[in-house]
Amino acid sequence: MPENETTAPSLENLLHETRAFPPSPAFAAQANAQASLYEEAKADRLGFWADQARELVTWSTPFTQTLDWSGAPVAKWFADGKLNAAYNAVDRHVEAGLGDRVAIHFEGEPGDTRTVTYADLQREVSRAANALTALGVTQGDRVVIYLPMLVESVVAMLACARIGAPHSVVFGGFSADALRSRIADAEAKLVITADGGYRRGAPSALKPAVDEAVGPKDGEPASTVEHVLVVRRTGQDVAWTEGRDVWWHDALEHADTFHEPVAVDAEHPLFILYTSGTTGKPKGILHTTGGYLTQAAYTHKNVFDLKAESDVYWCTADIGWVTGHTYVVYGPLANGATQVIYEGTPDTPHRGRWWELVEKYQVSILYTAPTAIRTCMKWGEDIPAGFDLSSLRVLGSVGEPINPEAWMWYRRVIGGDTAPIVDTWWQTETGGIMISPLPGVTATKPGSAQVALPGIVADVVDDEAHSVPDGGGGYLVLSEPWPSMLRGIWGDLQRFKDTYWSRFEGLYFAGDGAKKDEDGDIWLLGRVDDVMNVSGHRLSTTEIESALVSHDVVAEAAVVGANDETTGQAVVAFVILRGEHADRASTPEGAEEVQAELRNHVAKEIGPIAKPRRILVVPELPKTRSGKIMRRLLRDVAENRTVGDATTLADSSVMDLISAGLAKPS
């Protein structure tokens, strides 16, 4: 079990938040999802999902069975149906006469652009599928994709889907070692990579990591990889292994633009995506085709209120994460959307780059992460204010609980006080959104994901798996199978059962703490291993972070529980001050004053018990490449230990920066 796990939370933390924002009548009237969707799903849950699957997905062999749960916890959805995910994402739109619709507005970091229509995409994906076949990849073979955010990345994923070869995308920021272990675990036959990509204004190489990952190393034999397909992006020099390495453009140039998609069983593996557990080796989360695609399309259409003919959608996630799989590739394309894909970082060449793109492409739906929103808060609202953001009509948030202050900032500064915010809770394992407001139905509350989507059954339970009453807290569980649920951990059925199904009999345990408010709405409190116990009181790191960020001077905050002899744990907070206040902490007196102010502020917001024992003003926070704060490293600092393994940080110099700044005792 996760460390620090105790009984259900007892704090009245985020429940002080009482603001609510009902949808405007105009938005509600035009929304895809109406309140009746909940009724419909409730009346006949399986029938509801079967309807979605028939309506939103095109089957080459229609299914007759909806759910087979006899092999629980491994579900089968729509099992006797056959389909192809790439056909659904591309060809059927061309067949419907929409070939000229833009599928992707690509924007490279250096400013190069490319417009790809659905007809273009069909030709490219078909070519790539033929090229993969020519390289010996057949149905069932695993292909690892290690690419920056390029059009080719989307094409590569769809080409795999088209021939029934499960892809395993490894985020381009991962190291050669991480890549090597994933290739080995998946026993991949082929790797698709690039010479490099543009990051912060400079080419950043990728191919050397692949060379290191696939060759023999430290007595280990060379990997199972037979070919490496290389996209030319930056033009930088690459080492070349004759016979193994093939240029993407060469392979595609000679490939036919026609390819017949392979109809696979609904339960055929579509992809494996590795996510790190708290310890041990990464878990290869397995997703299959029919159920996954159904939920991807259904959630994308209803949660974002997508109008494919008029919206311009932009999800800022990298394809290396599940958000990029479901909400850059499969969901939007299955729905025939027009979307923006941006290669680079939000601050290159200037901190308004994202907002410039929103203005340029008239983006109407934006889906991003709280960490990005808080970073923008830190940079100051005058930056987005310099751009026309009036095209935005729906805003999404994902990845971690969004603190009410960041939510309010997002709504006001980015959404012009009108665009509904959907705070979407889900996981790599769930494959698609599970808990979220519906933008035309739900009165949204800052900081809460609120309600299980129609067709999804979620609950908050106590240690004995009893549903907690409204106002109570405990563990988030999913009580009924859902179409896009993981079908296992690649090659490790036992670990799948142990990790998710052993804590509570018959329930999927998500690993998150949660609370129900008086309306029964769900508030996520963060992973249970991020929950602290101070003098027998359960405190959420999220909640204290939220309190800190609600203070004017704080841009970002991370809280950890440091071991303490008397109280069990003590709250230690790391804060980044907002630009205009950063100077205040530059003298010892100033720092002390800020710390006292913040301690009192937390005491006021939550209660004296939550007052941080120590508050450390730092220039940066250690984050993984997916934007998650690595509290483990902060705990090391808070407990005066040597800082542990920091190799998965997005920027490995951050810990040095923090330690150097803290050399003087605060």
Q: How far is the CB of 321 from ligand WT7 (least distance, A)?
A: 6
User: What is the phi/psi pair of residue 532, to 5°?
Assistant: -105, 160
Chain positions 515 to 544 lying near ligand WT7, rule: CB under 6 A, are 524, 527
Q: How far is the CB of 430 from ligand WT7 (least distance, A)?
A: 7
Cβ atoms of residues 230 and 219 within 8 Å: no
Q: For ligand WT7, how many residues bind (rule: CB under 6 A)?
A: 20
Q: Which of 295, 428, 442, 648 binds ligand WT7 (CB under 6 A)?
A: 428
Toward ligand WT7, which CB reaches closer, 265 or 423?
423
Residue 542 labeled ligand binder: no
Which of 212, 201, 199, 217 has the alpha carbon at shortest distance from 238?
212
Toward ligand WT7, which CB reaches closer, 333 or 528?
528
Which of 417, 421, 384 has the alpha carbon at shortest distance from 403?
421
Cα–Cα dist 115/370, whole Å: 29
Which of 579, 149, 99, 78 has the alpha carbon at shortest distance from 325?
149
Q: How far is the CB of 349 from ligand WT7 (least distance, A)?
A: 28
Q: How far is the CB of 44 from ligand WT7 (least distance, A)?
A: 28
Residue 227 labeled ligand binder: no
Toward ligand WT7, which CB reaches closer, 352 or 420?
420
Q: Hey, what amino acid is at 130?
A: N
Mark the segment that binds ligand WT7 (CB under 6 A) among 30-38, 189-197, 486-494, 507-515: 507-515
Cβ atoms of residues 73 and 498 within 8 Å: no
Cα–Cα dist 407/420, whole Å: 11
Q: Which of 398, 460, 572, 606 binds ligand WT7 (CB under 6 A)?
A: 398
Mark the segment that binds ligand WT7 (CB under 6 A) among 43-51, 181-189, 509-517, 599-607: 509-517
Q: How far is the CB of 525 from ligand WT7 (least distance, A)?
A: 8
Q: Which of 181, 204, 236, 275 binds ligand WT7 (CB under 6 A)?
A: 275
Q: How far is the CB of 592 from ligand WT7 (least distance, A)?
A: 34
Helix/strand/coil percentages in the chain, nearest 5 = 35, 25, 45
399: contact with ligand WT7 by CB under 6 A: yes
Q: Hey, what amino acid is at 500?
A: Y
Structure tokens at 533: 């116990």
Beta strands in 224-297 (DSSP E): 227-231, 245-247, 264-265, 269-275, 283-288
Residue 427 labeled ligand binder: yes
Q: How far is the CB of 402 from ligand WT7 (least distance, A)?
A: 7
Q: How far is the CB of 398 from ligand WT7 (least distance, A)?
A: 5
Q: Annotate each residue in 445-474 with x if it binds ligand WT7 (CB under 6 A) or - if it does not, as one string.
A: ----x-------------------------
Q: Which of 109, 124, 265, 512 binds ligand WT7 (CB under 6 A)?
A: 512
Which of 326, 346, 345, 347 has the alpha carbon at shortest distance from 337?
326
Residue 180 labeled ligand binder: no
Structure tokens at 354: 């994202």
CA distances from residue 194 to 163, 228, 302 in whole angstroms, order as listed: 21, 10, 35
Cβ atoms of residues 525 and 401 within 8 Å: yes
Q: Hey, is 488 helix, strand or coil?
A: strand
Q: Which of 120, 423, 459, 556 binds ligand WT7 (CB under 6 A)?
A: 423
Q: Which of 426, 482, 490, 496 binds ligand WT7 (CB under 6 A)?
A: 426
Q: Contact residues for ligand WT7 (CB under 6 A)? A: 275, 322-323, 398-401, 423-428, 449, 510-512, 524, 527, 626
